[in-house]
Amino acid sequence: MDSLLHGVEGFMYPNEIELQWSVLIVLYPFITGLVAGAFILASLERVFRVEAVKPTYRLALLSALAFLIVAPLPLQLHLGRPERSLEMYLTPHTSSAMAMFGFVYLWYLMAVLVLEIWLDYRKDIVLLARSTTGPLRWVYKAMSLGSDNISPRALEVDDKVGYFLTVIGIPSAFLLHGYVGFIFGSIKANPWWSTPLMPIVFLFSAIVSGIALVMLMYMVTSWFTGREISMPCVDTIARYLFYAFVIDFSLEMLDLLHRVYESDESFKTLDFMVHTRLYTSQVIIQIVIGTLVPLGLLALTQLVRLSESARKGTYALAGVLTLMGIFAMRWNVVIGGQLFSKSYLGYTTYKMGFATREGLLPAILLMLLPFVILWVLVRLLPPWHDEPHPPAEGAAQAA
Amino acid sequence: MTDRRQFLESSTKLLLLTGAAALGWDHLQAGEPEKAPNYHTADHWWAMAIDIEQCIGCGNCVRACKTENDVPKEPYYFRTWVERYHVEGGDIERPQVDSPNGGYDGFPEKYHAGDGSKNFFVPKLCNHCAHSPCVQVCPVGATFEAADGVVLVDKSYCLGCRYCVQACPYGCRYIDPRTNTVDKCSLCYHRITKGLTTACCETCPTGARTLADLKNPKDPIHEFLRKNKIQVLKPQMATGAKVYYAGLDGSVR
Amino acid sequence: MRALFKDQEHLARMAGLFVAGIVAFLVLQQLLVPKGFGLYGHYRAGALDDNRARPVSFAGQAACAECHTDQAAARKAGKHARVSCEACHGALAAHAANPESKPEKPHGRATCLKCHTANVAKPAKFPQVEPSEHAETGLCTECHQAHNPGMGS
């Protein structure tokens, strides 16, 4: 504990020396961001009729669900008294963004995501309920809610309602992650957080990370299951990723420029922090490696005609770096906002444990958990209608 | 005919009485301090007056508070603390500030007399804001402003989410490591509702800290506010802070 | 009509599930919200009582003056008039409740030096001494009377 005092430079209010929000609170906006972004990519096909990205529709929805299920877990681990967390639903304080977010989360999970997945998969669920044997049959029967109707008329109704859900799902996704931005942006006590741009920056970086995730998931799962990657699909996704990233980067640069220009009382202390304690995570990882390099790579694919395999490799690299960059952005907001003193006279350090309740190990495990859940979901509700066609097999058969 | 009317009358009475009894029972179970003798929240509007010119940085207040309120002794948890300011060459934008263990053991001498600098102590505590940002952000209602102006914490309801700690511009909140819930200055609520003063004001040897009741017309705070140049901390945050400082320098954060 | 509904029946089932969930939540809310919540504001009314229930450690000088009238009078007459008893003697509520229990006597040097050690940040008009220059050893009480600190014990 005493080592915390050694990490203090200058003056911190005595209660500020120990950081309040840990890496788990970094994880939470990252995860909800992936959810919102994945959903918005899915809505591209459904609402805006971008046919090219259709192969990723179901995968995007299932990914969103897997991550949304995990989203409350870092929060539970972080709470001082997790057993009291139900209080947020029992006696929500309507002036608290955090309390209201509980209902936004619930709305998005149940009324948007689960409903939409159910409607899109209902035909498959009923068919699987009929054809499966063993205990799994009851799972499908439960999911079908006992209804056996997959007549064309019923499916038409499903489609219409699903469309409607996606339409309200888009502003709901905006709300889901914009709200997380507002939780930070509305804190006047913290100049690093307090800006009206915060919800918008969070939202666009969420869209960027979600698109990158789905793109990577599509490429990885296709490769894993021996399915061919539709190049028009990834080309289109990469193009949208590029556009979203340009907007996101512009917004972040606007925030930076604004701060530098106005140079208010907090600027000197924040500037010093970015140049010293936050330099690696902010300048090197977030800006250079996590934004400029992937932007450059994506721009390259838009300007120069590359071969299929070159494009795939570039997209994959850009996707990975993007996810790193967006994670770094969350880190810089959450941790960065607590490294400096509200007296503007000092700095402290963040000591992240490893195998502690809020340490690196639980953070890693929580990031792996959605993939485990996704694996279960994909087995339960396969996103593909076709059988895998590994190219080698086809070539051998042709020969 | 009369039987029916009697029946209706008595059953209405019964209904009303039951309803009233239920309400009363609710109030009883809720433990209404309003109904307790002598102390009425509506009669008070608590604040504190701090006279910077009187503070000698002895640390009595810090020690007394930790004793009275069972605050953990480690240097990361303070309901109140004292800061020392050293302003050289009139540079109020870059003061040197320190608060060794919050001032708990006093302040070992660090500076030299006659170097042309300005030095003074500033005691700090929860400002019991009238428009408290910490109360605004609490998701469950575990921190609140009582009707007598004291911002309190409900220890048995707090989730330990730490949102209020982030929202407080003054750094006056901390998480009690023993209960994992938030804690902060309660203006010694258990003392002031009994007619005593706060522990910090009781042990302050110079009268630098004085508890004040703005609703009491005889309270010396009124003269204090009229006679002195008064400041609150971070007025631009519009928190409605109720700790009034006389003689606060522009360098104070 | 029947035929029309038949193709939307599964939606009705889902809607029913939602309604059941909301009703269950509302019931849960009624059961679990603590008594007295919302009575005075968005908080548990009992929290006021909880905050008032803490035990008192410092008795307050009025309590001391009830028995120790001589010391109280001596203090009132001198420079330590504004220094309460417990500022030097520490928390005395236990002693006030049970006068048989004798509290520790404050140290005749260390206690004084807590306030009176010279420090650049102290107001200039406050009486302060450099301990090494002003009676380097020995107790302050040898020359100064603690309750009425003039010269002469």
pLDDT at C37: 94
CB pairs under 8 A between B and C: 150
Q: State what percent of residues in chain C have pLDDT above 90.
A: 69
Residue B27 and residue C38: Cα distance in Å, rounded?
Answer: 11
Average pLDDT of span B28-52: 74
**Cβ–Cβ of C7/A151 closer than 8 Å?**
yes
Q: Does A94 touch chain B (CB under 8 A)?
A: no
CA distance C13 to chain B (A): 33
Hey, what are B231's tokens?
A: 């400041």
Residue type, B245: Y
User: Which of B173, B197, B177 lies closest to B80 in space, CA to CA?
Assistant: B173
User: Tokens 């289109």 map to which residue?
Assistant: A236
Both tokens assigned to A33: 């961001």
**Does residue B181 carry a pLDDT above 50?**
yes
Query: Could you tell me which of C65, C115, C127 has the C-alpha nearest to residue C92?
Result: C65
- Summarised one tens digit per residue, pLDDT across range A266-325 is 999 999 999 999 999 999 999 999 999 999 999 999 999 999 999 999 999 999 999 999
Residue C21: the pLDDT is 94
Structure confidence at residue A47 (pLDDT): 87
Q: How far apart are CA B168 and CA B62, in angstroms?
A: 20
Burial state string for A117-143 with b = 16 or more CB within 10 A and e = fewer than 16: bbbbbbebbbebbeeeeeeeeeebbeb
| Mean local confidence (pLDDT), C100-118 | 91
CA nearest B27 in C: which residue?
Answer: C36
Q: Predicted confidence band at B159 (pLDDT cuts at 50, 70, 90)?
A: very high
ipTM of model: 0.91
User: Which of A98, A190, A337 comes nearest B161 by C-beta?
Assistant: A98
Cα–Cα distance measured from residue B145 to residue B153, given in angstroms and rounded to the nearest whole number: 9
Give the distance from residue B198's alpha carbon to the nearest chain C alpha carbon, in angstroms.
Answer: 9
pLDDT digits (tens, 9 = 90+) for A77-99: 999 999 999 999 999 999 999 99
Angle between the N-to-C axes of helices A97-106 and A152-185, in degrees from 0 to 180, rounded to the nearest 10: 170
For residue B26, give every residue at least 6 positions away whose Cβ sits within 8 Å of its Cβ, in sequence order, or none.
C35, C36
d(CA A326, CA A202): 9
* A154:C8 CB<8 A: yes
**How many Cβ atoms from other residues are within 10 Å of residue B161's Cβ?**
31
What number of residues does chain A have? 399
**What pLDDT score does B16 carry?**
55
pLDDT along chain A (399 residues), means of 10: 83 95 96 94 87 91 96 95 95 95 94 93 92 91 90 92 92 92 96 95 96 95 90 94 96 94 94 95 96 96 92 96 97 97 95 93 96 95 69 43
Strands B181-183 and B174-176, by their bridges, are antiparallel
- What lies within 8 Å, CB to CB, of A202 at 6+ separation is A29, A33, A177, A178, A180, A181, A184
Higher per-residue pLDDT: B201 or C149: B201
Out of A91, A118, A153, the one facing C7 most closely (by C-beta) is A153
* Contacting residues of C for A99, CB less than 8 Å apart: none
Q: Closest Cα of chain C to B1: distance in Å? A: 41
Average pLDDT of the residues of chain C: 90
pTM of the model: 0.90
> Which residue in B31, B143, B206 is closest to C45 by CB distance?
B31
Q: Which residue has the tokens 């511009």?
A: B169
Whether the CB of B179 is below 8 Å from some CB of chain A: the reply is yes
pLDDT above 70: residue B20: no
Residue A89: list chain C partners with CB under 8 A. Answer: 25, 29
Span C72-80, average pLDDT: 90
Of A160-164, C7-11, C60-64, which gets the smallest average pLDDT? C7-11
Whole-angstrom distance, CA of residue A238 vs CA of residue A251: 20
Roughly how many angstroms between the first and final C-alpha of chain A, as a whole number? Answer: 70
pLDDT at A44: 84
Mean per-residue pLDDT, B98-109: 96
Question: What is the nearest CA distance from C44 to chain A, expressed in angstroms?
Answer: 10
- The helix (H) or strand (E) run that includes residue B211 is strand B209-213
Tokens of A245: 């990233």
**What does the pLDDT read at residue C122?**
96
Please give the structure tokens belonging to residue C114. Answer: 């807590």
Q: What is the predicted pLDDT for the residue at A76?
A: 95
Count CB atoms within 10 A of the CB of residue A220.
14
Closest Cα partner for A331 from A259, A278, A288, A376? A278
On whether the CB atoms of residues B175 and B162 are closer than 8 A, the answer is: yes
Residues 6+ positions from B211 with CB-CB distance below 8 Å: B46, B48, B187, B192, B197, B198, B201
Q: Can you give the pLDDT at residue B82?
A: 98
pLDDT score for C1: 53
* Average of per-residue pLDDT across C61-76: 91
